[in-house]
Amino acid sequence: MENVALIESFSEFKDDKLIDRVTLMAILEDVLRNALKKKYGDDDNFDIIINPDKGDLEIWRNRIVVADGEVEEPNQEIELSEAQRIEPDFEVGEDVAEEVKLIDLGRRSILALRQNLISKIHEHDNTNIYKHFKELEGEIYSAEVHHIRHRAIILLDDDGNEIILPKDRQIPSDFFRKGENVRGIIESVELKGSKPAIVMSRTSPLFLEKLFEQEIPEVFDGLITVKKVVRIPGEKAKVAVDSYDDRIDPVGACVGMKGSRIHGIVRELGNENIDVINYTNNIQLFVTRALSPARVTSLKLDEENMRAEVLLRPEEVSKAIGRGGHNIRLAGQLTGYEIDVFREGAEEDVELKEFSDEIESWIIEEFSKAGLDTAKSILEQDVDDLVKRTDLEEETIVEVIRILREEFEE
C-alpha cells in the first residue's frame, strides 16, 4: 500500500488541463528509473509496472542465483542462501524477481524523487505551452489584464498562461485597467530557461493586417489580398489592398458604407487614421496613390536609386507631407521609394539651408523633419500650424519668418 499512497500524493501535482494521467505515469517511471540508477547503479534489471487507472505501482528487481560467496555484481546476482529466504526451492542459475518498495529507497531518495517529479511535470507543462503558442505566432490573441507594471502589462488567458505586453508594443493612447480584455498578436515565443516567454504586440503592422482578416469577410475569404501594411502606431497607417476579381472594389469593400467596416479597426487602434489604397504594379501610379489625400501634378521616377520627385500645387504640399511628416514617411515605406516633394513655381523659392548664417542648423533640421525645407514652405503656413508641426517655440518661429520675409522683400 505504501507505493499506492505515494503515487496518489504525487498525483496531486498533476495539472488537469495540461497533463493526463497516462503521461504522468510515464514521467513517474522515468523519475523512478533515475532513482533506481542512483541507488543500485543500473536499472536494466528492474521491471516497473504502473496501472494508470488504479494509480497502482510495482517495482521488481531481477537477479540470478549464484553460490554463496560468489557474488560479483550485487545488483545482478543474489547468493543462494538469500534467494532461498525468498523461496526455499530456488537453485543456482535461476532468476529471482524480488519486489522493491519505494520506502526501501530511503526517505532522502523519496524526497528527491518527489522534487524530480514536480520538476518533470512543470517541464512537460512548459513544453506544451511553448509548442501551443509557437503555433500561434502572428495570430490575434485575447487575454485579460492581470498586473500593470511600469514597462509592461502582464496578461492572463483563460488557461492561466502569462503573456507580456511591453510598453513599446502598446499604442501610445492605450490605457488598460485590471480585468480588462486586450487584443494583440502573439509576436514572439521563446524559452527562457524552462519557462516560455510569450510577447504580445499591438504596434506591429501584422496586427492591423490580421484585424482586416478578422473584420472584413472578403479579406478573410481571400477575395481581397492585403499586399502591404505600414504604420505609425496610434497616428496613421496605410494599407495597400488588391483583388483578382474585377467586380470587387477592394478599397470600397474594406472601408464600407460611410466607413462602417473599418470603424471597428480604427477604434481598436486608438483612432489611428487608416488610408486604404488600391495596390498596383505601376510604380508611378502606386506612388501617386500612396501620397493620398494629396493630388499629384506630376511625378518623375529614378528606379535605379529608388527615388521619386513629386510636383504639387502649393495647397497640396501640406497634405502630402501630413502632420509631423507622417503621410510622406508612410508613403515612402509603402512604395519603397524615397519621395522628394517640389512645389509648382519652386524656381522662385530658396532652400532653407541657404539661411544657415542667420538661422541655427538645429532649427533648420526641425523644419526639415516636418517636410519644410524651403523659405516659401514656411511662409505659406500660419504660425500656429508651424508650432503644431514642429517642436519649436513660437518666438523662434516668428524670428525665422522675419528673416525669410526680409530675403524676399529685398
Between CA 388 and CA 397 the distance in angstroms is 11
The whole-number pLDDT of residue 332 equals: 95
In a domain, 197, yes or no: yes
Tell me the backbone φ, ψ of residue 125, rounded to 5 degrees: -60, -45
Between CA 213 and CA 226 the distance in angstroms is 9
Largest Cα span, the chain: 126
In a domain, 310, yes or no: no
- 22 and 114 within one domain: yes
Per-residue CA distances from 39 to 43, 72, 84, 130 (Å): 9, 17, 24, 34
- 218 and 145 within one domain: no
The whole-number pLDDT of residue 54 equals: 60
Q: What CATH number is attached to the domain comprising 60?
A: 3.30.1480
Helix (H, G, I), strand (E, B) or coil at 387: helix
In a domain, 325, yes or no: no
Contact (Cβ atoms closer than 8 angstroms) between residue 10 and residue 114: yes
- 183 and 92 within one domain: no
* Cis status of the peptide bond prior to 74, with omega within 30 of 0: no
Nearest-CA neighbor of 277 among 226, 218, 324, 214? 226
Residue type for position 390: T
Crossing angle (nearest 10°) for helices 2-11 and 21-40: 120
What is the distance of C-alpha 207 from the center of its chain? 10
**Cell numbers at 346, concatenated:** 519652386
**Cell numbers at 242, concatenated:** 488588391
In this structure, are strands 152-156 and 95-99 parallel, antiparallel, or unpaired? unpaired
In a domain, 327, yes or no: no
**Which structural domain range is residue 212 located in?**
204-279
The total number of structural domains that make up the chain: 4
User: Cell 488600391 belongs to which residue?
Assistant: 278
In a domain, 320, yes or no: no
In a domain, 319, yes or no: no
- 57 and 164 within one domain: no
Between CA 207 and CA 226 the distance in angstroms is 12
What DSSP string describes 4-23?
Answer: HHHHHHHHTT--TTT--HHH
- 127 and 6 within one domain: yes
Burial (CB count within 10 angstroms: exposed 0-12, middle 13-18, buried 19+), residue 144: middle
The whole-number pLDDT of residue 354 equals: 80
- 80 and 153 within one domain: no
Between CA 289 and CA 292 the distance in angstroms is 5
Between CA 226 and CA 209 the distance in angstroms is 7
In a domain, 305, yes or no: no
Q: Select from 279, 298, 325 the last residue of a domain.
A: 279
- 32 and 126 within one domain: yes
Q: What CATH number is attached to the domain comprising 179?
A: 2.40.50.140
The whole-number pLDDT of residue 8 equals: 54
Q: Hey, which residues does 79 pair with through a beta bridge?
A: 66
Q: Select from 131, 160, 180 the last residue of a domain.
A: 131
Q: Select from 224, 249, 279 the last residue of a domain.
A: 279
Could you give the angle at the alpha carbon of 266 between the alpha carbons of 272 and 177, nearest 5°? 85
- 82 and 7 within one domain: yes
Tell me the backbone φ, ψ of residue 162, rounded to 5 degrees: -90, 130
In a domain, 300, yes or no: no
The whole-number pLDDT of residue 298 equals: 87
- 187 and 92 within one domain: no
List the pLDDT tens digit at each of the 410 positions of the chain.
Answer: 345 445 555 555 544 445 666 667 777 778 788 888 888 888 888 888 876 556 567 888 898 888 888 888 888 888 888 888 888 888 888 888 888 887 767 667 667 777 777 777 777 777 788 888 999 999 999 999 999 998 999 999 988 899 999 999 999 999 999 999 999 999 999 988 778 899 999 999 999 999 999 999 999 999 999 999 999 999 999 999 999 888 899 999 999 888 889 999 999 999 999 999 999 999 999 999 999 999 988 889 999 999 999 988 888 888 898 888 899 999 999 999 999 988 776 556 778 888 888 889 899 888 888 778 888 888 888 888 888 888 788 999 899 888 888 776 55
- 6 and 109 within one domain: yes
The whole-number pLDDT of residue 17 equals: 44
- 88 and 37 within one domain: yes
**Cell numbers at 391, concatenated:** 517642436
Contact (Cβ atoms closer than 8 angstroms) between residue 185 and residue 207: yes
What is the distance of C-alpha 378 from the center of its chain? 42
Residue type for position 62: N
- 262 and 209 within one domain: yes
